[in-house]
Structure 1
Amino acid sequence: MPFTLNKLKSKLALVGLSLTLGATPALAESSLLNSSYDIARELFASYNELFKEHWQEKNGETLEIRQSHGGSSRQAQAIIQGLRADVVTFNQVTDINILHERGKLLPEDWQQRLPNASSPYYSTMAFLVRKGNPKKIHNWDDLTREEVDLVMPNPKTSGNGRYSYLAALGYAQKTFADDQQAIDSFMKGWLGQVAVFDTGGRGATNSFVERNIGDALLTFESEIQGIIKAFPEQEFEIVVPKISFLAEFPVAVVDRHAERNGNLELARAYLEHLYSKEAQRLLAGFNYRVYDDEISAEFADRFPELQLLGIQEIAGNWDKAMKEHFASGGKLDQLQRR
């Protein structure tokens, strides 16, 4: 299970862009590199073992799988600059789109190659609060109070952070309808309560859990449930707001690199297997929501029902969101000006 190998604190030190090579099996006949988002280390450490067994049973071939982790936008930039990843398992569509737009490393229609727009699992944004929820945080509007300090990843460097921003924006839009002034006031107040903007999700977790900063950590529901299990002595609590953002986790083969590495068939199989029953069950065990109805029913008690807003409802599409909100001089920068 996630976060139960030794203490999570040893993993929380692994902040920022890192390449985990591991020990090469003596008889490994093939090697695959997966570039992934910051907080997916434990998830893919387990999935890699599952897939290696599957691959050996199917092809009689031993396999080495290496991992590169960091904020997904930083990972995408590293690939454009030469990191020869065979596959990407990111947490935002735009970080894969950029591999086509800037590097022509995969085709424009990459989302059409796997089910659910190439997103085998999903999550949403939630709040981790301290024992007893002393600040009485229950919804997005509670995060704007002056006495509440927030910790979250930076939307400029992290898909995780952008999801929190868009979830808060979706709540404001539902609350204030067409009153743009009220929406902007809410967002400005919310951003003003952020005590720490970390570069990635795992850095934000470290700031909240290890450095004891803030009253609420904003991150994926899946990350929060894992933290609670890893630190039972701290009696953290999870708050899942009734309105939040649909956080999809897109995956893709980096065609140019996979072909160059001689791994195209292997890379495709690695991602396709994420849709298998055993992989969907593993994903749900790591507190991700999955599309398989049978597996979802098995884990229904972990996931409260809520209204998940997609990017189309909040910002039109990802290209528009990136230009209007997260580009230099965009809405995020404007709202943070004092």
Structure 2
Amino acid sequence: MKRMIAYAVLALGLGVAPVKAEPTEILNVSYDIGRELYEQIDKAFTASYKASSGKDITVNQSHAGSSKQARSILEGLEADVVTFNQVPDVQVLHDKGNLIPADWQSRLPNNSSPYYSLPAFLVRAGNPKGIKNWDDLVRDDVKVVFPNPKTSGNARYTYLAAYAYALEANNKDEAKAQEFVKKLLANVPVFDTGGRASTTTFAERGIGDVLITFEAEVLGTRKQLGEDKYEAVVPPVSLLAEFPVTVVDKVADKRGSRAIAEDYLKFLYTAEGQDILAQNYNRVHDETVKAKYASQFPETRLLTVEDVFGGWDKATRQHFAEGGILDKVFTRR
């Protein structure tokens, strides 16, 4: 005992920090419509972790619009991991907070995006307005519901998908593309801050003719609320929506949770994790799981932010920065 005390005193005298006990819980800060998905992921992960390590772990969740979540982390919310729905909301943790390294996307497969989706449409039974493609959404007789692109990554994908469609339909005419998204935005009666609130506006409040959100939310909402009440419409062309994840290094190292946080994210890439993701209508990369769930995903042609807009950095500067294209077109008719 005296020897142990002596070693402790010596360590303190040398300025050696005592080893932190590994925490028994971590926090996953995520996008708002991922709540039910991550409840399933967390249950499976904690069981897997217990089986492999013999230890109990609790995964706490925080859900809101991903851009809002990123700001909360920059303001002090201690996330061990983030599971967001667009690259800029992760990248900002490096650019403005130095919380993660610049090469965070190279740490896990598929640019640290374990699954993906695309903007799709949920319409009411019988599709009374005959909505099939993006050009139907700018008609005067159609009211569209999706969240505010200034606060929601979900909505930014919708905005960019519509813009990309208009560019392709008009021989890359920027002026016509801007007029197209201006009409689309003018057809939105309510701008909620996040995707789940917009689903509530459409499904529970009965506002609008079509909800635009991630395909996973479209298919999941239809299953939950009644396939006899809603129809899913996957447009023939849409935009690839990646769901990037990362350990928040500065927080994980401070809390001693890095090993657990890394295991949690790696679980998303396992066959079990990929199966849970696909069960919840997310498109995945595991070939076996893809084949198993292929029938639930209609074919569509996916454009990318890189090909159409030159990457997220350029898209953010041109469209979403103060005074950008979004500010110019975000007006009522």
TM-score (norm 1): 0.90
The equivalences for 1:274-289 within 5 A come to: 274-289=268-283
- SS of residue paired to 1:66: strand
User: Judging changes above 3 Å, is the alpha-carbon distance between structure 1 residues 305 and 336 closer, same or farther for their aligned structure 2 residues?
Assistant: same
For 2:195 and 2:330, the matched residues in 1 are separated by 20
The one of 205, 208, 225 equivalent to 1:211 is: 205
Tell which deviates more after alignment, 309-318 or 31-40: 309-318
Matched residue, 2:163: 169
- Structure 1 residues 64 and 143, CA gap change in structure 2 (3 angstroms): same
State whether residues 119 and 239 of structure 2, in contact with CA within 8 Å, keep that contact through their aligned partners in structure 1.
Answer: yes
Deviations 1:105-161 (A, max 9, x none): 110100000000000000011010011000110000000000100110111001000
The answer to whether structure 1 residue 51 and structure 2 residue 51 are counterparts is no
Contact 1:151–1:195 (8 Å) recurs in 2: yes
Alignment RMSD (CA, Å):
1.2
Per the alignment, residue 172 of structure 2 pairs with 178
Say which of 313, 319, 327 aligns to 1:319: 313
Aligned ranges for residues 1-338 of structure 1 at < 5 Å? 30-232=24-226, 235-338=229-332
- Give the SS at the match of 2:126: coil
Q: 1:265 to 1:233 in 2, by over 3 A?
A: closer
Deviations 1:68-122 (A, max 9, x none): 1100011011111111110000001100111011111110100000000000000
Alignment check: 8 A CA contact 1:245 1:310 kept: yes
Tell me, yes or no, if the aligned pair for 2:145 and 2:189 is still in contact at 8 Å. yes
Q: SS of the counterpart of 1:108? A: coil
Shift of 1:317: 1.0
Kindly indicate whether the alpha-carbon contact (under 8 Å) linking 1:169 and 1:314 is maintained by their aligned counterparts in 2. no
Q: Percent identity?
A: 51
What displacement does 1:178 show? 2.8
CA contact (8 A) 1:38 1:72 kept: yes
Q: CA deviation at 1:235?
A: 1.5
Q: In 1, Cα distance between the equivalents of 2:325 and 2:172?
A: 17
Q: Distance in 1 between matches of 2:281 and 2:54?
A: 32
- What code does the residue aligned with 2:256 have? G
Q: Which moved more, 1:184-193 or 1:80-89?
A: 184-193
Using the alignment, how far apart are the partners of 2:322 and 2:154 within structure 1?
18
Give 1:196 deviation, angstroms. 1.4
| Secondary structure of the structure 2 residue equivalent to 1:128 | strand
Alpha-carbon distance between aligned partners in 1 of 2:202 and 2:28, rounded to the nearest angstrom: 28
> How far is 1:234 from its partner?
5.5
Deviation string, structure 1 residues 46-66 (Cα, Å, up to 9, x no partner): 000100011111110001110
Partner SS for 1:57: helix
The one-letter amino acid paired with 1:225 is L
Contact 1:29–1:61 (Cα < 8 Å) also in 2 = no
Hey, what's the Cα distance between the residues in 2 that align with 1:157 and 1:266?
30
Q: What SS does structure 2 have at the residue aligned with 1:238?
A: strand
**8 A contact 2:144–2:208 mirrored in 1:** yes
230-239 vs 157-166, greater mean Cα deviation = 230-239
With over 3 angstroms needed to count, the CA separation of the structure-2 counterparts of 1:122 and 1:55, relative to structure 1, is: same
Name structure 1 gaps, 5 residues minimum: 1-27
Letter aligned with residue 41 of structure 1: R
Cα distance in 1 between the residues matched to 2:214 and 2:178: 24
Output the TM-score relative to the length of structure 2: 0.91
Q: Which amino acid aligns with 1:257?
A: V
- Aligned residues between the structures: 311
Between the aligned partners of 2:227 and 2:183, the Cα distance in structure 1 is 33
Distance between the aligned counterparts of 2:207 and 2:331, measured in 1? 23
Q: Whole-Å Cα distance in 2 between the matches of residues 241 and 270 of structure 1?
A: 34
The answer as to whether partners of 1:222 and 1:287 remain within 8 angstroms in 2 is yes
On the 8 A contact 2:32/2:64 being kept in 1, the answer is: yes
How far is 1:184 from its partner?
2.1
Counterpart-to-counterpart distance in 2, 1:178 and 1:62: 55
Distance 1:169 1:233, change over 3 A: closer
Question: Aligned partners of 2:252, 2:151: CA distance in 1, in Å?
Answer: 26
Distance 2:181 2:67 in 1: 23
